[in-house]
Amino acid sequence: MTIPYINIYRHFTVNLVPFGPEAGDLKVNPGMLTSGQTIDLHMFFPFYGGLYNYTTISVNGYLAFATVLDQGPTINVGPQSTDWPRQQDPAMIAPYLCKQQIPQSGNPALRAGIFYRLILRQSLFGRESGSNMNLGGTMQSSSFFGQSAAQACPGTPDSYARCDAQSDYFLDEMMRWIQDGVAGGSMFRADAALVVTWHNTASAIAGRSDIDAGQSATYQAIWLTDQPGRLSYVILNYDRLGFDAQDVRANSRLGRCRALFNGGNHTGIVEVDPTQPYKNSPKILAQRSGVPDVVRGRYMFRVDDIVRPAGCSNKTGGTYPMMIYPNIVNMLGEMSVDVNAMCLDRSQTYILMIEEREVATCNILNAAIARCNLPKIYDWGTKTVYFQPQTGFANDDKAFVGYIYFVPPTLDPQRLDIGNLYEWYKNPMTSSLMPISWYPRNFTNPELFNTLNQMGPRISDDALYGVQLGLYVIGYREYKDDEIKKFRPEHRTLARLATYTNRNGFDYRWRPQEEVINLNQVQQWYMTDWERWNTLYTYRVGYFKLAPIRPNDLNGTELLSGLVSAPISLHWLWSPEDNRFGQSTFSQQERDQRTEFVSRKSMEMCHDW
């Protein structure tokens, strides 16, 4: 008798993750469908600025964090629909908010219900971190009568909490989904997930004929967070939406269904799809997608502080917030940012317009993510940016609007880490080997990147991040231009110090790559001998830039996008004519000669100034 029971619930389509008892789910108690069943999440999940270790699951298509008043045909939430504080405005994640029911008879009732499970990473419970990766695993089904969750997750007696190798693989797969659909998703490590599936629900006052006619809905919410509770993402999967409202006979007058995120207490509300077709018929959510290159009916959002739409949208008018990563950027530019905005077409070219500055050219990673190369900005502050194609409605409404905060190199959180900056201004240098570190996922192989149109690899593919990186020294100077009545800046590539191999292993999604800089070696100079003896000293300060090596680059004038360091002194590049970085080791006498030369040259320059 158990085999038919398992087969009934083993039902999922291309855009749903497995659910049902065999996948480890529990079913919401039939007596608590309308009011909602509250479950313990066993850790804090961030949502809209709050931290919640519980949620209430209701048949009416929401995960709530407060009591929901559902009197009348419509469930009212949000600043426009409630009179808070006189009326409650509960915080909620609502994949399909309207009055619904679970069919009680007929074939649809055999598989109808609300299923939920909590998935936790084994390492949260002190398990050995290397034993729970299961990188080469598959989403194999667990036995319905196998090990209980109480044994797998110590301290979590509820049987809906899963904690085993399959759970770790599920979380790794969700990270790949996030990485392929969300700008900046590669820096997120999922340690916990709540999976809730509404299966074969019907509108609240639908009759047997409506349900038999296929007017039912199946959809799913996956809520992910990391162990510290800093980042949180929601994935919504819509398999089938057979009704627009709680009304009967496909009428959509009463109790219109909505898909939304509500912060509660009038803090804000965000619709899943702000387009006109959704307003005409919410059922369109199952036909469209925020990741159209992957599957239909899937939408992604970042929800920890405010709700930020990820993936892409088909909105063509008004304003729509872009997801930009990183959104705090070095004012020196020459780096790239990832953007979620409109759904992208590879036959089109796209630009990122920057307020009062040059435009940034963009490349398409996939249908949901574009990578834009920023120019030099030379400004400190927030600038409005607009993303749009260069054809079509490029000159019409700028629907996709975002903001980037440009900061000096010393305040850039993405800057190249070269250790203690004060050490770079000392003479002699305290050490000839200086530290350098960066996160490898900031770099992609330009050769593979340029063939994305033909190959189409996933962004989560580790091979995309295997690239040779060059460490360049950029000199900076400025001179007065009488024509423009201001100082004109000049950035020049002076030399390439070293070459590094970007580590693209799984562990380096979050770990920084740490290397050393040998100050006694220069791989390639981009200055002549005369310039090194006469011009080098005019660059009072400079900085490092780590960027992919461009083939056949003889003068270093066109460096690819990369990471730059904070400003440093370049005196360690100075040397007497007979000591020009031509050897790998230096005697103490030669070091003393360089130190004395730097001191003497500095005094001469100071006197000239």
Q: pLDDT of 80-106, one tens digit each? A: 988 888 989 999 999 999 999 998 776
- Same domain? For 248 and 338 the reply is no
- Same domain? For 391 and 439 the reply is no
Give the domain-ending residue among 310, 332, 365.
Answer: 310
Chain segment 315-357, per-residue pLDDT in tens: 876 778 899 999 999 998 888 999 999 999 888 899 999 998 8
- Same domain? For 389 and 427 the reply is no
In a domain, 255, yes or no: yes
3-state helix, strand and coil shares in percent for the chain, rounded to the nearest 5: 20, 30, 45
- Same domain? For 265 and 179 the reply is yes
Q: What is the pLDDT of residue 5?
A: 37
Instruction: State how far the alpha carbon of 299 is from the alpha carbons of 16, 135, 150, 538, in Å.
Output: 12, 25, 32, 54
Q: What is the pTM assigned to this prediction?
A: 0.87
Instruction: State how far the alpha carbon of 182 is from the alpha carbons of 115, 376, 450, in Å.
Output: 26, 26, 20
- Same domain? For 391 and 242 the reply is no
- Same domain? For 451 and 543 the reply is yes
In a domain, 236, yes or no: yes
In a domain, 135, yes or no: no
- Same domain? For 263 and 332 the reply is no
| Residue span of the structural domain in which 278 resides | 22-126+151-310
In a domain, 387, yes or no: yes
Residues in the chain, pLDDT under 70: 1-12, 106-110, 127-152, 154-158, 209, 211-212, 247-253, 317, 392-398, 449-457, 577-586, 607-609
Give the domain-ending residue among 310, 342, 377.
Answer: 310
- Same domain? For 63 and 198 the reply is yes
- Same domain? For 251 and 344 the reply is no
In a domain, 220, yes or no: yes
How many helices and strands (H and E) does the chain possess?
Answer: 10, 32
Give the domain-ending residue among 372, 407, 442.
Answer: 407
Q: What is the pLDDT of residue 447?
A: 76
First to last CA, the chain: 93
Chain segment 386-438, per-residue pLDDT in tens: 998 887 655 555 678 999 999 998 899 889 999 999 999 988 888 889 999 99
Structure tokens given for 10: 């083993």
Number of domains in the chain: 3
- Same domain? For 451 and 395 the reply is no
Q: What is the pLDDT of residue 399?
A: 77
In a domain, 142, yes or no: no
CATH number of the domain encompassing residue 335:
2.60.40.10
- Same domain? For 329 and 354 the reply is yes
- Same domain? For 299 and 376 the reply is no
In a domain, 349, yes or no: yes
Chain segment 23-35, per-residue pLDDT in tens: 889 999 988 888 8
Q: Which of 293, 6, 352 is nearest to 145 (CA)?
A: 6
In a domain, 234, yes or no: yes
